[in-house]
Amino acid sequence: MPEARATAGNEPDVGDVPVTVADVLAAQARLRRYLPSTPMHHAERFGVMLKLENLQRTGSYKVRGALNALLAARERGDLRPVIAASAGNHAQGLAWAAYRLGVQAITVMPHGAPQNKIAGVAHWGATVRQHGDSYDEAYAFARELAEQNDYRFLSAFDDPDVIAGQGTVGIEIAPFAPDVVIVPIGGGGLASGVALALKSQGVRVVGAQVEGVDSMARALRGDHRALAPVASLADGVRVKVPGFLTRRLCASLLDDVVIVREAELRETLVRLALEENLIAEGAGALALAAGRRVAGKRKCAVVSGGNIDATVLAGLLSEVRPRAPRKPRRRTQELHPVEPASAGHGRVTPASLVLGITTHPHIPRDAPPAHPSVSVVAPAAQHAAFEEEYTW
């Protein structure tokens, strides 16, 4: 992948794309009142840190982008009803955000959308319209309704405010100082936002897609054909054409895109449930499934969502027999943010994202004032503690 050009302040330059690190930081300031930070979990059997967005409100990271977009629109004085097309998680995130802010929301979902996701949207009071057999057909119908009724159309991924909101996932990961972060890709909103947040920290960002559902990987190779994605357990990333903005951001910022086989995805989802006691949907297990193909000593995979139908999960648990993992080579320590040599836990601030500075807010009151450290690199001992515990 081509790398972003270096600019003043070490902020990645992605040309004239209308979303920057500053927008991600503004999104963080908006969202902290409404959304909690999701946990980081060290999956010892996988040797990977996991960012648990399956524990976010509505069970997916998507609520971040939807809520940030509604809050930003309110700041601009745009109070129109909002309409979106979604296979499920964006619709649920928008419904929850609209409920919290008192905004009218309409969601268009394809007929094949999982019933648990349709029920989740209706639970928060949004109007549900089902149309077409794919996301792309639902998208075209939603755009038509938006033009006819003067609704604001909110893309699930190709919107600056949505991308900035998804980027807050990266801000929460940064204090743990991974050397590589793996992110699932559908339309590219999450990958774009996380890469914006982390590239100035020197972190590699790798996308993950499923074989036959790889429109972004093909687009980055110059293949822009709109091919219908194959059926996949990862229904949340079945996008025929990636976004215009997200394609440009991913081309500038991603280090690689890894393609995962469907069988690998199914096995990883079952292993997450049986070995880590974590429930993920297909797209949610995608980044972890790609982990074995990505080099790194401090790998982090984003578990993007956990909204899986109970019948689908039950079928997987009864059908898939994962291979037994190998035993660990050494003991591990519990996961915690990296502590620079001065003291206290690192926290990402506007300065740290642009300049690589970590501040220390958790210092006892009677301690002398601490000066910012200019590094978020882990000490050697901590580096070793997070080496992979299993060979996949």
- Active-site positions? 62, 304
Kindly give, in sequence order, each residue whose CB lies less than 8 Å from that of residue 52, ignoring residues fewer than 6 positions away: 38, 39, 40, 41, 278, 303
Please, are residues 248 and 17 in contact by the beta-carbon 8 Å criterion? yes
The number of angstroms, rounded, from the C-alpha of 64 to the middle of its chain's C-alpha atoms is: 10
Q: How far apart are the first and last CA of the chain?
A: 25
What's the chain's Rg over C-alpha atoms?
A: 20
For residue 174, give both structure tokens. 């940064």
E-state strands within 164-306: 180-184, 204-210, 256-260, 299-303
Q: H/E element holding 270?
A: helix 262-275
Tell me the longest C-alpha to C-alpha distance in the chain. 63
For residue 153, give both structure tokens. 């159309």
Return the closest-CA partner of residue 66 out of 177, 183, 157, 131. Answer: 157
Sheet holding 299-303, edge to edge: 40-43, 48-52, 299-303, 180-184, 204-210, 256-260
For residues 73 and 67, what is the distance between their CA atoms, to the nearest angstrom?
A: 10
For residues 197 and 183, what is the distance between their CA atoms, to the nearest angstrom?
A: 13
Pick left, alpha or beta for residue 344 (phi over 0 → left; psi -120 to 50 → alpha; otherwise beta): left
168, burial (CB in 10 Å: exposed 0-12, middle 13-18, buried 19+): buried
CA–CA distance from 284 to each of 55, 133, 355 (Å)? 11, 22, 31
Q: H/E element holding 48?
A: strand 48-52
Beta partners for residue 181, in sequence order: 205, 300
Please, are residues 105 and 81 in contact by the beta-carbon 8 Å criterion? yes
